[in-house]
């Protein structure tokens, strides 16, 4: 829900809003360019002077994972491809879509692929193997929970409500910053030496939801009560919040099957790829708070 190379790239932190992206075919293509990491990768590629396009259902030409009729047109002329899969590589059928994409990418002469993947997700790791075993040089960026899930998605509203009712509140997670993911992905797209690598991306420490609540209170002044609930109660809460059925199933899976301890370890991918430590959660919260994310 989001989910770490050799070679060192200076961290790029654009101060401009997300640039307008030419919908015409470009040497660099981001599938999912409006997402948390996709738009950041586009910003970085633009800042480095590269021509980059974004592929989505609203782009021209449009890209739809469930309709490959125009994929050849979308990938024509593309040399380097950053792939994010919606809604998540863990969902059934994702591997079929990735397999089909690889076939089109090979036919169109794509020379490099970076895949955003998920930690501890069996279907996601099947997709990784497909990408790594293809004839196209590839890099895997394997991540777990994003810091930005707390500021750029529905979880922000839960934080601001004062109560976080979740299962597995005692389990540690190595929350990773989307800016670190984008830095690593951009490095792998633009520099040699990352082919065949699987980068496990995490932050520098394991944090439970109770740890998150404590840091949130210290940084923002907002009280946050964490309640450990059963799986059934959690799903009932998601339904009551009027999340779409598919999203309820995905969030239930991530909280109750992925966030159950299998990812309670730290990865060294940011250090390996960029030669620096990853951003920490407190710094993320401070920056988000100053930007007005929490009122």
The predicted structure's pLDDT at residue 246: 85
> How far is it, in rounded angstroms, from Cα 103 to Cα 188?
21
Band (238; pLDDT cuts 50, 70, 90)? confident
Band (229; pLDDT cuts 50, 70, 90)? very high
The predicted structure's pLDDT at residue 250: 85
Task: Give yes or no for residue 142 having a pLDDT over 90.
Answer: yes
- 12 backbone dihedrals φ, ψ, rounded to 5°: -105, 120
**Could you tell me where the beta strands, DSSP code E, fall in 160-289?**
163-166, 198-201, 225-228
This prediction has a pTM of: 0.89
> How far is it, in rounded angstroms, from Cα 195 to Cα 139?
5
Q: Which of 36, 13, 8, 5 is nearest to 273 (CA)?
A: 5
* 12 within 8 A of 186, measured Cβ to Cβ: yes
> How far is it, in rounded angstroms, from Cα 267 to Cα 252?
24
Tell me the mean pLDDT in the region 101-113.
98
Band (270; pLDDT cuts 50, 70, 90)? very high
The predicted structure's pLDDT at residue 180: 98
As to burial, measured by CB atoms within 10 angstroms (0-12 exposed, 13-18 middle, 19+ buried), residue 185 is buried
Helices 245-253 and 231-240 pack at an angle, to 10 degrees, of 150
The predicted structure's pLDDT at residue 11: 34
Task: Give yes or no for residue 22 having a pLDDT over 60.
Answer: no
Task: Give yes or no for residue 46 having a pLDDT over 60.
Answer: yes
Fold adopted by 28-289: Rossmann fold (3.40.50)
Q: What percent of the chain has pLDDT over 90?
A: 77
Tell me the mean pLDDT in the region 27-46.
97
Domain residue spans of the chain: 28-289
As to burial, measured by CB atoms within 10 angstroms (0-12 exposed, 13-18 middle, 19+ buried), residue 58 is exposed
Provide the CB-side half-sphere exposure for 10 (13 A, CA): 5
Of 224 and 15, the one with more pLDDT:
224
Which residues, listed in sequence order, are joined to residue 54 by a DSSP beta bridge? Answer: 30
The predicted structure's pLDDT at residue 26: 76
Lowest mean pLDDT among 14-28, 60-74, 189-203: 14-28
The predicted structure's pLDDT at residue 157: 86
Task: Give yes or no for residue 9 having a pLDDT over 80.
Answer: no
Task: Give yes or no for residue 12 having a pLDDT over 80.
Answer: no
Band (79; pLDDT cuts 50, 70, 90)? very high
């Amino acid at each position: 829900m989001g989910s770490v190379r050799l070679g060192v790239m200076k961290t790029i932190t654009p101060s401009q809003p997300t640039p307008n992206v030419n919908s015409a075919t470009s040497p660099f293509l981001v599938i999912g360019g409006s997402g948390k990491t996709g738009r950041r990768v586009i910003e970085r590629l633009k800042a480095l002077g590269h021509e980059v396009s974004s592929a989505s259902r609203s782009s021209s030409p449009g890209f739809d994972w469930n309709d490959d009729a125009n994929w050849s047109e979308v990938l024509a002329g593309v040399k380097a491809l950053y792939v994010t899969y919606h809604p998540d590589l863990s969902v059934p059928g994702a591997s079929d879509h990735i397999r089909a994409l690889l076939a089109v990418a090979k036919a169109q002469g794509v020379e490099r692929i970076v895949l955003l993947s998920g930690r501890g997700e069996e279907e996601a790791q099947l997709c990784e193997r497909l990408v790594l075993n293809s004839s196209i040089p590839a890099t895997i960026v394997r991540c777990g929970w994003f810091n930005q899930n707390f500021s750029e998605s529905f979880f922000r509203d839960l934080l601001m409500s004062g109560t976080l009712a979740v299962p597995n509140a005692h389990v540690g997670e190595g929350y990773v910053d989307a800016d670190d993911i984008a830095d690593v992905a951009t490095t792998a797209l633009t520099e040699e030496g990352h082919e065949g690598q699987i980068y496990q991306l995490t932050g520098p420490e394991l944090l439970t939801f109770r740890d998150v609540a404590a840091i949130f209170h210290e940084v923002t002044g907002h009280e946050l009560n964490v309640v450990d609930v059963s799986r059934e109660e959690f799903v009932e809460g998601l339904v009551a919040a009027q999340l779409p059925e598919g999203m309820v199933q995905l969030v239930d899976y991530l909280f109750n099957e992925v966030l159950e301890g299998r990812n309670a370890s730290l990865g060294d991918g940011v250090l390996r790829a960029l030669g620096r430590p990853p951003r920490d959660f407190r710094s993320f919260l401070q920056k988000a708070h100053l930007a007005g994310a929490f009122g």
